Amino acid sequence: MNSVIKISNMSYKYPTGKVDVLKNINIEIEKGLLYAVVGPNGGGKTTFCNVLRGFIPHFYRGDLRGEVLVNGKNIVESTLGELSLSVGFVFQNPFIQISGVKETVFEEVAYGLENLGVHPDEIRTRVEAILKLVKIEHLRDKNPFELSGGQRQRVALASIIVMEPDILVIDEPTSQLDPQGTEEVFEIIQIMKEKGKTIILVEHKIELIAEFADRVILLHDGEIVMEGTTQDVLSDEKALSYDVMLPQYAMLGLELKKRGVPLRKIPITEEQAVE
Ligand code: ADP
């Protein structure tokens, strides 16, 4: 397996916490796949993301045990700056992501490259290309704060993608968006996947996970209790016992199977259901 992240026997306790909120995590993240991280609130999803981007242990200290390798390098030995070159992080709330110091979408997307001291000509070329890629060229002269939620999240994604990280960690990007905004964000996620990026996505909308994710990681009470292909995890009744919903077609398939209807596999998407 060509893994970009390898986590061995990792546990973590916040500085103020009494118990481990991540417990004995072992997983390899394979290059180019989209992993959905699911599980009930408080299960450890955001903490897991904070480890992947090095916020733990570089920002939140606490007690991190075990080993986390990103592109072969131990995160404890990397700086946050080094890590940010390979792991791009997108927050739930695009307001946090947007710098607030730039007056146009173009300048906002260019900001990270400016900070790295990239030549202005190269900045222009790269920003133009990304605005086109995520289909926000028409917004280039707008103020980021005048945009809709979906547009703002696209700008936030663009400002990360322009830095060309090979891993994207995206924590609930659609939780504050309407259906159209959600669709716009998933369009970009799909484009990133096609470009070979490795994506770790926290998302509650199970039908979207069924459609887009390659693998699912189920975190419950700080432990990985299920991990596998999206097909396997989202057609397994066991997920329900961890308070994770299954796609409606999987629920229907499981019910039919219980009633003796022979099914080759339990469908998880509409496309599979009509096959
Ligand atoms: P999820 O994203 O699945 O909702 P979190 O990673 O946010 O889960 O939280 C996991 C556990 O860690 C929870 O019990 C939460 O209260 C605790 N926790 C989260 N952030 C902090 C923090 N900064 N300090 C102490 N405990 C925290």
| Residue at 256 is within a domain | no
Respond yes or no on whether ipTM tops 0.90: yes
- Which pLDDT belongs to residue 243? 94
Which of 19, 22, 47, 48 for a ligand 1 pocket mutation test, highest count of atoms within 8 Å of Cβ? 47
> Is the Cβ atom of 14 under 6 angstroms away from ligand 1?
yes
| Residue at 270 is within a domain | no
The closest alpha carbon to 211, from 249, 175, 251, 256, belongs to 249
| Residue at 264 is within a domain | no
Across the beta sheet with 215-220, the strand order is 87-90, 167-171, 198-202, 34-38, 215-220, 223-229
The closest alpha carbon to 166, from 76, 108, 94, 83, belongs to 83
* CA–CA gap between residue 30 and residue 6 (Å, rounded): 9
- Which pLDDT belongs to residue 180? 87
| Residue at 273 is within a domain | no
**DSSP secondary structure of 200-252:** EEE---HHHHHHH-SEEEEEETTEEEEEEEHHHHTT-GGGGGGT----HHHHH
Residues 162-183 have a mean pLDDT of 90
**95-126: per-residue pLDDT in tens?**
666 777 789 999 999 999 998 899 999 999 99
**209-261: per-residue pLDDT in tens?**
999 999 999 999 999 999 999 999 999 999 999 999 999 999 999 999 999 99
pTM for this model (two decimals): 0.93
Domain span holding position 219: 3-244
- Tell me which amino acid residue 103 is: E
| Residue at 250 is within a domain | no
Across the beta sheet with 73-74, the strand order is 22-30, 3-13, 63-70, 73-74
Q: Is the pLDDT of residue 177 over 90?
A: no
> Is the Cβ atom of 81 under 6 angstroms away from ligand 1?
no
> What CATH number does residue 155 fall under?
3.40.50.300
| Residue at 267 is within a domain | no
Kindly give the number of the ligand 1 atom that is closest to the alpha carbon of 49.
6
Residues facing 6 on adjacent strands: 28, 69
Residues 159-173 have a mean pLDDT of 93
* CA–CA gap between residue 122 and residue 226 (Å, rounded): 44
| Residue at 36 is within a domain | yes
Quote the number of domains for the chain.
1
| Residue at 263 is within a domain | no
Residues facing 199 on adjacent strands: 34, 168
> Is the Cβ atom of 64 under 6 angstroms away from ligand 1?
no
47 C-alpha to center of ligand 1: Å? 6
* CA–CA gap between residue 267 and residue 253 (Å, rounded): 6
172 C-alpha to center of ligand 1: Å? 15
